Amino acid sequence: MPPQMTLPRQPSRRRFLQSSGAILAAPAGPRFAWAQNYPTKPVRIVVGFPPGGLTDVVARLIGQSLSDRLGQQFVVENRSGAATNLATGEVIRAAADGYTLLMATATNAINATVYEKLNFNFIRDIAPIVGIIDAALVMEVNPSFPAKTVPEFIAYAKSNPGKINYASAGIGSPNHVAGELFKMMAGVDMVHVAYRGSTAGALTNLMQGQVQVLFDPVLSSLEYIRAGTLRALAVTTARPSQALPGIPTIGDFLPGFAVSAWHGLVAPKGTPPDIIDALNRQVAAALAEPGLRARFAALGTTVLAPNSPADFGKLIADDTEKWAKVVQFAGIKGD
């Protein structure tokens, strides 16, 4: 176990939490008319990943529900590139009027430290709206791999330092930092193999035995696990995944280990607080519907809402601080 890392708290974190709390505390004065009339035209939900992945699916499910509830189209626009920084920058520069939103993910919290020369500060420049889902990654191996449990995997890795390759969707991706956190907490030496943009190639190579382990979103791997093509050792979230009954958490064996690929909506800083509050309430109401909750459970995710904008802001700030320690300890640098 490496020594405990102490890093300076990001100076923007206090301001971020204060501004998130202000969203709730703001009086419902003349600006209340914003929420009464909103939306009067289509709303864009910008996604920093290509169509078909988990983030895209989450955005489309929420967008359709909001369209049905509010009578205006919530249109998903995919702006993949630059590890989601392209989409994030576009939303941050957009008008703060509630008509351009970002489907934010844990990648945004990781990128804050991985990329040193971003032209925005995610915590400073966005207004959190609502956390939507918590998505587990699954630690998986080829069925021919000698370890069948996390303790067996750790023992094998310690006996074979530097001989296990773990794959990811790219430098600084959630798969990558999950692997680095596992290395730190388990005290093992594994070699990172980065694939660009997705884990599709990594899954193929894992099934071929060219890499030995992958921390992958449950949605991407579920059919292979159920078919027996891949072996699930554990999930990364603090709680087990409903989609993988009987599969333990890594935290069962490494207390304190938790990696969540959370998703939620944010808006540009300065978006009227009553619009933020109205969207928060509408998303919470949508996610209270059993049918939509079942859809998200089938994706291997857990619904987070209801939560306040301040709650979601704290999640983002805490995750940014957590990943800063891992990224700096591992020396991860963005391309």
pLDDT tens-place string over residues 270-327: 999 999 999 999 999 999 999 999 999 988 899 997 999 999 999 999 999 999 999 9
Domain residue ranges in the chain? 11-134+261-330, 137-252
Fold observed for domain 11-134+261-330: D-Maltodextrin-Binding Protein; domain 2 (3.40.190)
Q: Is the pTM of this model over 0.75?
A: yes
Residue 317 class from Cβ within 10 Å (0-12 exposed, 13-18 middle, 19+ buried)?
A: buried
Helix (H) or strand (E) holding 298: helix 290-298
3-state secondary structure of 73: coil
Lowest mean pLDDT among 40-44, 99-103, 295-299: 295-299
Cβ neighbors of 68 (< 8 A, separation 6 or more) are none
The predicted structure's pLDDT at residue 198: 75
For the domain made up of 137-252, give the CATH fold.
Answer: D-Maltodextrin-Binding Protein; domain 2 (3.40.190)
Task: Tell me if residue 282 falls in helix, strand or coil.
Answer: helix
Query: pLDDT band at residue 35, thresholds of 50, 70 and 90?
Result: low
Only one residue has tokens 């009027």, namely 97
Q: Are 34 and 145 in contact (CB under 8 A)?
A: no
Token pair recorded at residue 138 = 């699954």
DSSP string, 76-107: EEE---GGGHHHHHHHHHS-SSSSEEEEEEHH
Distance CA 272, CA 28 (A): 11
Pairing of strands 43-47, 100-105: parallel
Distance of alpha carbon 137 from alpha carbon 260, whole angstroms: 7
Q: Rounded distance, CA 67 to CA 303, Å? A: 19
